[in-house]
Every structure is written in C-alpha cells, then in structure tokens.
Amino acid sequence: MNTPMTRGNTAMKPVSLGDFQGKVVVVSSVPSLDTPVCDLETKRFNHEAEALGPDVQILTVSMDLPFAQKRWCGAMGVDKLVTLSDHFEAE
C-alpha cells in the first residue's frame, strides 16, 4: 500500500503505510494532542512502545499542524512513535 495515509509528518513530507513495510503498524487517531485525553493516550502509547521492540511502529494521526506536533512531542518527551498530521485533507 503506497497510498498516502496522511499529508505529512513533522517534516511536512507525505507518508504512506508502505514506508513501514515489514513492521507491525498500530495507528492511533486523535483530534488534537493538546487536549487532555489525547495527550494522555499518546503519552501512554509512547510508553508502551518501549517494550514492543523495533518490529512495531506506532503512528498517531491528529489534525494538529506538524509544527504543533513537533512542539508537543518535544515538550512531553514523546520519541517512540511517529506523529502524522491530517490537517491538509481531513480524511
């Protein structure tokens, strides 16, 4: 599957599920990382990702702009999952 999954990562580059070929992919979808429940959920997934090993990739898709995702991840120490933004197409 090389169809774009969302319009971009924090580097504003398109991403597809094919980019994670050979890995088990867990997709989490949240409205915004800056809301209490989404914040808690994403931090929990980041914590759980440590024990899953390199063959599992967690993707969190939100409507936040990539710049806001990068800021949030830095402030919260989230570095074990990939955040993706669907703000361009809202699909």
Active site residues: 38
Measured between its terminal Cα atoms, the distance across the chain in Å is: 17
Could you give the CA distance from residue 22 to residue 89 in angstroms, rounded to a whole number? Answer: 27
Q: Which amino acid is at 52?
A: L
State how far the Cα of 15 lies from the Cα of 17, in Å rounded to an integer: 7
Give Cα separations from 77 to 1, 19, 44, 67 (angstroms): 31, 24, 12, 15
